[in-house]
Structure 1
Amino acid sequence: MADMGNSNSSESGGGGDDDGIVNWVALVISLVALLGTFAQVFQQYIASAAGYSNCGESVMGRWHESKKRKFRATELRFEVEFETPVIFVCPTTNDKGPIKKQPIYFVSGTPQSLKETRALLPQDEEAHRQSLQESTVHTADNERASWVVLLSQLQSMEKESQDWQQEHYKQNPPERMEQVDFSKHTLAVALQAKKRSWDTMPAGVKKPYATTTMCHLLEIVAMMGIHWKEFDRSRERYRAEGNGYILMGTNVPELGIMFTLQVTGKSRFQENRVIPVDEVKELCCGYVSTLFQENKDRRRIEFPNDDTKDSKDTKDLNFLQLGSLDEIAETMVLIECNTDTAKYFRSPDAKHGHLFPVPFELLGMLGKTLHIRNSAFRMLPNPTPYHWDKNFFNMRRLVREYWKKITDSDTDDVLWNPQTQKLMDDSETLVHALDVDKKSKTPGYSMPLLNTLHDVLVGCDNFLKTSDRDLVRMVIREHFQEVMRMINDKGSAEGDFDANSMRSGGVKQVAEHFDELTAASPELRQEAFMELYFFKVLRHVRARAVMSYGRRQTTQYAPSVHSPDSAIDSEPEARASPPSLRKDGSSQSVPMLTVQFPGGGPQPDLADETTKLESTASAIWCTLVLRMLCWLLLHDFNKKDVQIPKSELLGSRLPVYIA
């Protein structure tokens, strides 16, 4: 019995050990299952952070450091947050951005700016070039967001252009000259960081995007030397190329217009760098600030919505619109040209140029000087629909021929006055500066030449601003009426003088029409052009401008003998006036009319008044022509750049996105 008890006890104890083992195994299995369940639940929560893998370093560069998961307890899921830039263009003194209470970081090309904008550092860029074995064509990186590439290229633009200018200063030692640095730029790219959530991303967008506006994008494109080839808003197709870049734009559902930048070749930012001035914003949309524009507080966003015909800015010649043929025709109407002149720009059969397209002449005569003193940058966006091709003329020779004509004692049509004498001195100084520039290390960009051109323009502006605005407008109007008529009308003009004009050295044939310029050899083309201007255009412009001005001032006006239309509006009674002095000191009797002024009283000496008006009109015309030559020498346009009509986008705050 005792043995049986011991046996049962033994069997009972062995069963207890087996049960413990089974229990432990069950516990382990349960824990593994529990951990697997927790891991699965945790993985599902982690997977709820949609878009986290799309915000990696390969996509966003250093901006990927801003990504994080944020648990939303009410929805039992994670939300992905990250930062992308809001890019805009403003002066370097600006302290207000589109995002309130956020710091503004400028793209200046410095190491500090690279750090603040989270762009590629110079050493990283150099390492990337070495990995490409110094290839001039960068292979496309499909993973990286194109706005990261844009920021890197903008930093490179600023650094390369400023390095080039510093080297330019070394080759052109400054004489008491203050160098221009980034802080003096009134056109700079800036950005602010904006927090975003992947929850708000449209379904078709797989990468974080940067934000800007349409007007700022147009300005950035111009700064980078990219030219629009297609800008079709009706079909939502946008394409721009140039300087080693291609920019494509299309509409993205539920978002808006999305642009993508691609690097297709080697870019260059040296003398081709666009002048960093605020007025570039207007040129991008075909608007031109004139020398009379002084309202710096004006908001551009309001300008396209103004009625152009009633705008004070257009009546005072503060702005010109040159972005399309229709806008040029409208501008001609606004400066009070006749209907025929406006129709020339709307007619597909009419000619619009002589040595170069006529709108560039208007731009040079009235356009505001945008060059920064002591700076070597000259490039601007082209505000006209015409190509600026310098292969067909030589602006330096035009300046030399201008100097010859205005200082020629046989040029009777140039009436002397103090301003004319100043123009003689300025043109002589300019010709000397051009000769010195040829021998410099940087022909066309030497600092003495650029500053001389700038100074001459300042002098011309001061004279035009202090002159009678109505008379200036009359001269401008009559000039373009006469030039466009001569370009398109091959018939004999009223009041033409003898083509065989006695010049120094014998009889010389004077060109009658601009068509003859194309037949002239390149070395004589500039001389023939100035012959036409001084011996044909000036005579008609002065006479008709003075006549029109006089008619506005009084109900009756008596033109002088200088006018080819002296018989117009004449009366039988005439009296001899005091002799009028020519530039060479000779005198000529000018028959004047007896004009009865209302109310009686003493009558002014009309001969003196008329001669003074003609002398002033002649000086205004000569000033405008010299200003045009200097302005076009001091500023430059890319030959491939033409304006595609988009004037209504000036100041547009339409949001656009960069992929």
Structure 2
Amino acid sequence: MDNNSTSNSSGGGGEGDGVVNWVALVVSLVALLGTVAQVLQQYIASAAGYSNCGESVMGKWHESKKRKFRPTELRFEVLFETPVFFVCPATNDKGPIPNKPIHFVSGTAQSLEETRALLKDEEARRQSLQGRTVHTADNERASWVMLLSQLQSMEKESQDWQQEHYKMGEPVTLPLVDFKKHTLAVAVQAKARSWDTMPAGVKKPYATTAICHLLEIAAMMGIYWKEFDRSRERYRAEGNGYILTGTNVAELGVMFTLQVTGKSRFQENRVIPVDEVKELCCGFVSTLFQENKDRRRIEFPNEDTKDLSFLQLGSMPEIAETMVLIECNTDTANYFRSDDTKHGHLFPVPFELLGMLGKTLHIRNSAFRMLPNPTPYHWDKNFFNLRRLVREYWKKITDTDIDIPSNAQIQQLMTDADDVVCALDKDKKSKTPGYSMPLLNELHDVLDRCDVFLKNSDRDLVRMVVREHFQEVLKLINDKGGPEGDSDGKSSHGGDKQRAEHFDELTAASPELRQEAFMELYFFKVLRHVRERAVVSYGRRQTTQYAPSMHSREPSIDSDTEAKPGSPSPHPQLKRHESGHSVPMLQVQPPERGSQQYDKTSRLESDASAIWCTLVLRMLCWLLLHDFNKKDVQTPKSELLGSRLPVYIA
């Protein structure tokens, strides 16, 4: 009995030890698994930033994120790709990242796929859910993802509008310009990045671009700068339902953030996709005399241009320097350096210079007319009517009472003005007034013919006409002595009709008569003075050894009278007009009729008249063919033209 008891007790103890051992084994395994899980969690947690590269932040770009184990550091590194934005022609094959494919933002399904932007059905679904209203549900999304989507929408919406516009108008023979003909397009390259290089204060992957490209993209989207202060690093632009702000980020640089604040629209307000828009964004203007197209644009801000290939209109001091460039006198330049002077008649004078000399940027057989404003003035068309100005020009150029020598160019201008008036009448009755293809192409044709004549004319005489025109116009605008005329109140040009003699009369005229008064003042007063002074100045330039540089002013008459022995004597037909005008008044003693000098002077006056009339018609047609947003004004940033300073998009 004792033996049985002993055996039973020994067997029971063995079973209890087995249970304890199994329990200990399970606990050990659980502890081991917990330890292994903790170690794995620490390794996985070493992949800092992986959760910040999700789809909610990067959209389809999140597919590029991955972990890479670094054995020497016993940790994971997070790698991902973000876009590099730049602006170039649609045929460009070189980007900032060598040996990387370039994807253009064109609004097509292929472009959406290549740039990893929202596809058509996803974009339509999101818009239907949001009702195309302002949304705040995606505030965690990186703003460059939104920028890419908005750029794709810009291209697609504008091309759809132009196609529909093309169908509504009168049939034309040439097809619409396709995307490949655009010399201004947004392109994207993918750049591999590591979260290890992210600054401490940045929690989302950022995109990269250059400051010049950001300015160009903002202009293309209809975003206008309200503040651009580089010294205090404060940047803010608004427009077309967007707000673009920039601040400095430590250890990185200037970072911009795009926010959608309302509905955007890309139809007739779409900027013309031409390369010269890059210059307009910084206040530079390519002129019709530009010849060297291969010169690198990045050199211009550091150079002092000495010809009429480019004009700087981005700020008041730059406009003053431009007046010096076209050899205006000091008083004319100082009008733009003073706060007490006026610079406009029906519209600011710099727009007149832009229309007279600016390069034609409209793309033939395209409906886009909008451009960035290169001047610090608002373009407000509520105070004048360009169509009426063209009609009044046509009336004056065909008026036999005006002293305009009849030559081949004047006859051509009569025909051109008549064609433009007819095109404007047809456009008014069309389904797309202001944007009908026949009108836009007719304006383009007239500008081309004007350019051919001006380029083939004597460049010095053209410069003299331009110079004397703006000297006379700005003098009349700021002349405090009142209008000049006969004592009986009648026009000094004869006749019983009292014509406008001063720009102050334009403000008092009713809107329907304002354009007529403007053209009367130009043809009956400005033309006469410009023609006389331009011919005299041209004669002085040709008969003296003094050959001023393109950037210097013409010497005074007194300096000619004190010429050194052996130098040519002053022009015998010149004398100073005794008056109180700030601009030296030069009078010509008329040569005898039939003499060689008389024939030469008559020929020069005829050429000067044709040049002036061509410039005025060109100005009107250029301003009709191109347009500016009323809220858009230029902020001084000419030094950023072509700048490759890196900036970042949050």
Alignment TM-score, normalising by the size of structure 1:
0.90
Instruction: For residue 174 of structure 1, report the CA deviation from its aligned partner.
Output: 3.2
Q: Aligned ranges for residues 330-479 of structure 1 at < 5 Å?
A: 330-412=321-403, 414-479=404-469
The answer to whether residue 8 in structure 2 is matched with residue 19 in structure 1 is no
Paired position in structure 2 for 1:58: 56
Cα 1:135/1:110, change in 2 over 3 Å = closer
3-state SS of paired residue (1:345): coil
Instruction: For residue 459 of structure 1, report the CA deviation from its aligned partner.
Output: 0.3
Gaps spanning 5+ residues in structure 2: where?
545-569, 579-583
The answer to whether residue 119 in structure 2 is matched with residue 121 in structure 1 is yes
Paired position in structure 2 for 1:599: none
Instruction: For residue 31 of structure 1, report the CA deviation from its aligned partner.
Output: 1.4
Question: What is the one-letter code of the residue matched to 1:110?
Answer: T
3-state SS of paired residue (1:288): strand
Instruction: For residue 272 of structure 1, report the CA deviation from its aligned partner.
Output: 0.5
Cα 1:26/1:492, change in 2 over 3 Å = closer
3-state SS of paired residue (1:259): strand
Instruction: For residue 86 of structure 1, report the CA deviation from its aligned partner.
Output: 0.4
Paired position in structure 2 for 1:586: none
In the alignment, the residues of structure 2 paired with residue 12 and residue 546 of structure 1 have an alpha-carbon distance, to the nearest angstrom, of 134
In the alignment, the residues of structure 2 paired with residue 517 and residue 546 of structure 1 have an alpha-carbon distance, to the nearest angstrom, of 29
CA contact (8 A) 1:249 1:257 kept: yes
The answer to whether residue 246 in structure 2 is matched with residue 253 in structure 1 is no
Cα 1:492/1:142, change in 2 over 3 Å = closer
Paired position in structure 1 for 2:552: none
Q: Aligned ranges for residues 564-575 of structure 1 at < 5 Å?
A: 568=587
The answer to whether residue 592 in structure 2 is matched with residue 576 in structure 1 is yes
In the alignment, the residues of structure 2 paired with residue 75 and residue 497 of structure 1 have an alpha-carbon distance, to the nearest angstrom, of 96
3-state SS of paired residue (1:508): coil
Cα 1:567/1:8, change in 2 over 3 Å = closer
Identity of aligned residues (%): 79
Instruction: For residue 47 of structure 1, report the CA deviation from its aligned partner.
Output: 0.6
Paired position in structure 1 for 2:504: 515
- Deviations, residues 26-54 of structure 1 (Å, cap 9, x unaligned): 22221111111100000010111111111
In the alignment, the residues of structure 1 paired with residue 324 and residue 310 of structure 2 have an alpha-carbon distance, to the nearest angstrom, of 13
Instruction: For residue 501 of structure 1, report the CA deviation from its aligned partner.
Output: 4.3
CA contact (8 A) 2:484 2:501 kept: no
Find the partner of 2:320 among 319, 326, 329: 329
Paired position in structure 2 for 1:627: 618
Find the partner of 1:542 among 522, 526, 531: 531
CA contact (8 A) 2:485 2:491 kept: no
3-state SS of paired residue (1:500): coil
Say how many residue pairs are matched: 619
In the alignment, the residues of structure 1 paired with residue 260 and residue 323 of structure 2 have an alpha-carbon distance, to the nearest angstrom, of 41
In the alignment, the residues of structure 2 paired with residue 492 and residue 444 of structure 1 have an alpha-carbon distance, to the nearest angstrom, of 38
The answer to whether residue 151 in structure 2 is matched with residue 162 in structure 1 is no
3-state SS of paired residue (1:458): helix
CA contact (8 A) 1:226 1:245 kept: yes
CA contact (8 A) 2:172 2:437 kept: no
The answer to whether residue 202 in structure 2 is matched with residue 213 in structure 1 is no
Find the partner of 1:529 among 518, 526, 530: 518
CA RMSD of aligned residues (A): 2.2
In the alignment, the residues of structure 2 paired with residue 540 and residue 503 of structure 1 have an alpha-carbon distance, to the nearest angstrom, of 13
CA contact (8 A) 2:208 2:646 kept: yes
3-state SS of paired residue (1:285): coil
- Deviations, residues 342-363 of structure 1 (Å, cap 9, x unaligned): 0111111100000000000000
CA contact (8 A) 2:186 2:217 kept: yes
Find the partner of 2:180 among 154, 167, 183: 183
CA contact (8 A) 1:87 1:191 kept: yes
Cα 1:614/1:492, change in 2 over 3 Å = farther
Question: What is the one-letter code of the residue matched to 1:294?
Answer: E
In the alignment, the residues of structure 2 paired with residue 112 and residue 252 of structure 1 have an alpha-carbon distance, to the nearest angstrom, of 35
Paired position in structure 1 for 2:144: 147
Question: What is the one-letter code of the residue matched to 2:511?
Answer: P
Cα 1:402/1:567, change in 2 over 3 Å = closer
Question: What is the one-letter code of the residue matched to 2:52?
Answer: N
In the alignment, the residues of structure 2 paired with residue 455 and residue 546 of structure 1 have an alpha-carbon distance, to the nearest angstrom, of 29
In the alignment, the residues of structure 2 paired with residue 36 and residue 178 of structure 1 have an alpha-carbon distance, to the nearest angstrom, of 70
- Deviations, residues 398-447 of structure 1 (Å, cap 9, x unaligned): 001111111111111x1111111111110011111111111100111010
Question: What is the one-letter code of the residue matched to 1:111?
Answer: A
In the alignment, the residues of structure 1 paired with residue 646 and residue 336 of structure 2 have an alpha-carbon distance, to the nearest angstrom, of 34
Question: What is the one-letter code of the residue matched to 1:17?
Answer: E
CA contact (8 A) 1:150 1:261 kept: yes
In the alignment, the residues of structure 2 paired with residue 645 and residue 171 of structure 1 have an alpha-carbon distance, to the nearest angstrom, of 41
Instruction: For residue 13 of structure 1, report the CA deviation from its aligned partner.
Output: 4.5
- Deviations, residues 478-529 of structure 1 (Å, cap 9, x unaligned): 000000000001337899899634999x611011110100001111110110
3-state SS of paired residue (2:238): strand
Paired position in structure 2 for 1:583: none
Question: What is the one-letter code of the residue matched to 1:211?
Answer: T
Instruction: For residue 391 of structure 1, report the CA deviation from its aligned partner.
Output: 0.4
Instruction: For residue 611 of structure 1, report the CA deviation from its aligned partner.
Output: 1.1
3-state SS of paired residue (2:335): helix
Paired position in structure 1 for 2:293: 296
3-state SS of paired residue (2:497): strand
3-state SS of paired residue (2:541): helix
In the alignment, the residues of structure 1 paired with residue 10 and residue 124 of structure 2 have an alpha-carbon distance, to the nearest angstrom, of 80
Paired position in structure 2 for 1:595: none
Paired position in structure 1 for 2:565: none
Question: What is the one-letter code of the residue matched to 1:521?
Answer: S
3-state SS of paired residue (1:615): helix
CA contact (8 A) 1:246 1:262 kept: yes
In the alignment, the residues of structure 2 paired with residue 196 and residue 64 of structure 1 have an alpha-carbon distance, to the nearest angstrom, of 12
3-state SS of paired residue (1:380): coil
Paired position in structure 2 for 1:581: none
Instruction: For residue 9 of structure 1, report the CA deviation from its aligned partner.
Output: 5.1
3-state SS of paired residue (1:384): coil
CA contact (8 A) 2:132 2:263 kept: no
In the alignment, the residues of structure 1 paired with residue 261 and residue 454 of structure 2 have an alpha-carbon distance, to the nearest angstrom, of 47
CA contact (8 A) 2:170 2:438 kept: no
Find the partner of 1:82 among 80, 83, 86: 80
Cα 1:460/1:394, change in 2 over 3 Å = same
Paired position in structure 1 for 2:273: 276
3-state SS of paired residue (2:101): coil
Paired position in structure 1 for 2:598: 607
3-state SS of paired residue (2:448): helix
Paired position in structure 2 for 1:585: none
In the alignment, the residues of structure 2 paired with residue 575 and residue 410 of structure 1 have an alpha-carbon distance, to the nearest angstrom, of 24
Paired position in structure 2 for 1:240: 237
Question: What is the one-letter code of the residue matched to 2:604?
Answer: L
In the alignment, the residues of structure 2 paired with residue 6 and residue 434 of structure 1 have an alpha-carbon distance, to the nearest angstrom, of 125
3-state SS of paired residue (2:506): helix
Paired position in structure 2 for 1:136: 133
3-state SS of paired residue (1:416): coil
Paired position in structure 2 for 1:36: 34
CA contact (8 A) 1:479 1:537 kept: yes
Cα 1:653/1:520, change in 2 over 3 Å = same
Q: Aligned ranges for residues 190-205 of structure 1 at < 5 Å?
A: 190-205=187-202
